[in-house]
Amino acid sequence: MTINQLSEQAPFTTKDGSTIRSILDLTNAPVVQQSLAEASMSSGGQTERHYHKLSEELYFILEGTASMELDGEVREVGPGDGILIPPGAWHQITALSDVRFLCCCAPPYSHDDTWFE
């Protein structure tokens, strides 16, 4: 059984510029097909617009509000919202307040699968 405590995970910056703490991924668990991380951004922060060729992503907003852009469509998101980001979909999240969310990737997140304009 693998149980990782969020508070024991060191934060790092992803290739798109977001700060995350990996809860379960290839670096800290015998993960095969997915990863789970907590992401956080201060009000006004945003990721660089990007896409993933392989990974399907799920965001789940825990705290705060953000503007979510997905292939040109923009919507405000907040606590309790789940967002599906299909492989190949251009996306960017911008914090409208301090925001914290879960990010699940399948296959697991990889810097090598992050592409920019």
- Domains, in order of start, for the chain: 11-116 (2.60.120.10)
**Pair of tokens at residue 41:** 């951004």
pLDDT at 15: 85
Across residues 32-52, what is the average pLDDT? 96
Classify residue 74 by burial, with Cβ atoms within 10 Å: 0-12, 13-18, 19+: exposed
At residue 111 the predicted structure's pLDDT band, cuts being 50, 70 and 90, is confident
Report the residue count for the chain.
117
Segment 49-100, tens digit of pLDDT:
999 999 999 999 999 999 999 999 999 999 999 999 999 999 999 999 999 9
pLDDT at 14: 86
pLDDT at 110: 86
